[in-house]
Structure 1
Amino acid sequence: MTELFRFAALMSLIPTFATADVAWKGDFETGNTSQWTRSQSVANSRLQVVTDVVREGRYALKATVRQGDDPIGASGNRNELLYISQEKVNSTWYYKWSTLFPTNYPLDDGWQVFAQWHQSGCCGSPPLEFYARNEELFMRVGGSKGKVLWTSPMKRGDWHDFVLEVKWSPDAKTGFVQLWHNGQLVVKKTHIATQFGKELNYLKLGLYRDDAIRPEASVYHDGFIMASTLAAVMPPPPPPAPEPAPTEPEPTLPDSEPTLPEPEAPTDLPAEQPSTPDAPTAETPVAYPQNRWGVTTREGTITPENPLGEPQAQSCSASGTGSVPFTAAVGLLSLSAMFARRRKVAQARAHTKR
């Protein structure tokens, strides 16, 4: 439990450490420009703290320039805020701010500086500046003959979030810059001279442009912070979007009753051949023999041995049982005996008549 309390106390100190690393804020959350050292402006209306267009918090700066605005009698037209930071040689600082060019911002080929770290001496382009030209943004280090290390589309109507790391030094091997734009590292650590000799730099924010540009133009700035650590100025990553809760699809009723599929005829059975009726056949009549009395009989065939055409007795080999042939044989013997007696009687009568 004690370790848990210690861990909670340590975590609660993390925002404090980040806040302690912030050296200065010029984020206009005071509702005015009092955080800044002074201004170079022809009128208060040219540097307004507004609430209708902001990047964070409640307030932002709207800097407006018209042709002829020259508050210090120098080259170009300007209305700017100054912060005399005077970073020491070989010191490293982090800067964060946001800038927006409105959708009606006039495009021009002339130079238009919106943020710069100017040398303490007079005249000439600064050692580090951000400027616009037509529809492009640029970061240049080293004055008018310096190097352009970054470019990006202006994208009027969108905020540009900058985080800049600088080691201030007139020595190109010691000084360096590193830039994040909209959360992405766009200029990796690049060694370059960031100061002119022994001259110290100071910050200027607003709009400073070529005096040949005629249309009025306004630009917005918000959230400026100067700190000694990256964690103090780097915005935290946005939280991941919550996953949508799963929803069950609503049941849908069919527009009509489902139609049952028709049964398919079997395809593996042979086709049925039409039957052909058998042709009628004529029966041939059987001629049965007649006995001596002119009677046609079906039982037997008249032969000398069977003058009466009686059915003939079959031998035992012709029948499976023998009972019917035996009866027929007995009957034949009886008939033969009866005819023999009649024949004898007839002969006797004929002999008597003689």
Structure 2
Amino acid sequence: MKRSLRLAPFALLLPTLASASVVWKGDFETGNLSQWDREQSVASNRLLVVNSPVREGRYALKVTVHQGDDPINASGNRNELLYLDRAAPGTEYFYKWSTLFPKSFPRSSKWALFTQWHHDGNGGSPPLEFYVVDDQINLRMGGQNGKIVWRAPVQREHWNDFILHVKWSPDANTGFVELYHDGKVVLPKTKVATQYSGQRNYLKMGLYRDSSIAPTGIVFHDGFAMATTLADVLPAPVVDATPNPPTPAPPSTNAPGSVSGPSSDAGSPPTADVPRDSDPISQTPPGSDDSPGSDGIVPGDPTTLGTGMPPAGCGASSTGGAPLLTVVGLTVLALLGRRKLVPARAPRSPRR
């Protein structure tokens, strides 16, 4: 117990230390879109901060796209938010966010892109993009002629939790991607070019889809964070504030009134789920019909040119408390009685 108390002041510092490497948050907890640098939307009701559904905190983003939504006079229909980070080659980051596709999200053989890191140039598909086609989520690297390095089926009414680990580089021997989905490593670290030569990337999040898709599209995003360590984007441990009921003590073979010892697992460390690697998906480039569109930014825009467990207890058992108090009480009474019989002695010098 004393050791736990000594560590308590350090435990109070953990929230501050844990957030030290968070570079930026776009989690909408401001209640508006002020964390983001720019909007590309046709109307104010296309990018809404809402309080339901949410993955974490109090707010999330609801994105709506109707056929014909074209805020930048380019290919496809879209409503997106931009964060102009433009990470330098050689930098390495962890990106965390959650995306939910509601029941109404239309199934289509055409592409619908929901998160991308676009390059500085206006033309061509981005070097890193997440999109849906035929009810499959795809992560593609390298633009229209690149490779799909991971895919998974769309689950509607489900929060997809993503952690993307990237080293930015136009060199395939230097750059890499690694992907966690719903707490598991689904794409082990894979060497690949993550930038185009001479260009940097910036984040776009929302919904951007082929203009031939007619039904209204809605997606929800929440909890975006950019950090330099994995620990800063992992979910916070859940602590159960309700104490567990005491475990009945096994029948004792000792004499009545003896004190039960601690259980054998009292000092066992807590266990946690560890992400497990899965077999990497085959890397097959998509056909021309499921390639996201090429335009991404306003042409000629100069500003974009140029990225638990509860704490362990003290080890005391909840059983055996009453016998212990009884023994202590009898001992004190015995000492008091003995003290009356012992003759007074000369006072001793105090301890040093």
With normalisation by structure 1, the TM-score equals: 0.66
Give the drift of 1:55.
Answer: 0.7
Structure 1 distance, partners of 2:122, 2:235, is: 35
Matched, 1:195 2:195: yes
Query: Structure 2 counterpart of 1:168, which letter?
Result: W
Matched, 1:101 2:96: no
Partner in structure 2 of residue 205 of structure 1: 205
Query: Structure 2 counterpart of 1:231, which letter?
Result: A
Partner in structure 1 of residue 141 of structure 2: 141
Alpha carbons of 1:241 and 1:192: their partners in 2 closer, same or farther (altered >3 Å)?
Answer: farther
Structure 2 distance, partners of 1:88, 1:36, is: 19
Partner in structure 2 of residue 186 of structure 1: 186
1:93-147: CA deviation from partner (whole Å, max 9, x where unpaired): 1100000000111111100000000001111110100000121111111111111
1:53-102: CA deviation from partner (whole Å, max 9, x where unpaired): 11111111011111111111111000000000111110001100000000
Give the drift of 1:229.
Answer: 0.7
Q: Which has the larger radius of gyration?
A: 1
Give the CA RMSD over aligned residues: 2.4
Find the residue that maps to 2:129 and give its secondary structure: strand
- Structure 1's consecutive aligned runs of 4 or more residues displaced over 4 angstroms after TM superposition are 1-6, 237-248
Partner in structure 2 of residue 14 of structure 1: 14
1:196-236: CA deviation from partner (whole Å, max 9, x where unpaired): 01201000000000001111110000000011111000114
Structure 2 distance, partners of 1:49, 1:236, is: 23
Alpha carbons of 1:218 and 1:174: their partners in 2 closer, same or farther (altered >3 Å)?
Answer: same
Partner in structure 1 of residue 120 of structure 2: 120
Partner in structure 2 of residue 170 of structure 1: 170
Find the residue that maps to 1:17 and give its secondary structure: helix
| Ranges in structure 1 where 5+ consecutive residues have no aligned partner | 249-354
Number of corresponding residues: 248
1:292-333: CA deviation from partner (whole Å, max 9, x where unpaired): xxxxxxxxxxxxxxxxxxxxxxxxxxxxxxxxxxxxxxxxxx
1:138-192: CA deviation from partner (whole Å, max 9, x where unpaired): 1111111111111111111111000010000000000001000000010101010
Structure 2 distance, partners of 1:2, 1:120, is: 57
Partner in structure 1 of residue 257 of structure 2: none
Find the residue that maps to 1:218 and give its secondary structure: strand
Give the drift of 1:7.
Answer: 3.5
Percent of pairs identical after alignment? 56
Find the residue that maps to 1:231 and give its secondary structure: helix
Partner in structure 2 of residue 252 of structure 1: none
Structure 2 distance, partners of 1:19, 1:236, is: 12
Find the residue that maps to 2:45 and give its secondary structure: helix
Partner in structure 2 of residue 281 of structure 1: none
Partner in structure 2 of residue 111 of structure 1: 111
Query: Structure 2 counterpart of 1:71, which letter?
Result: P
Partner in structure 1 of residue 229 of structure 2: 229
Structure 1 distance, partners of 2:243, 2:106, is: 42
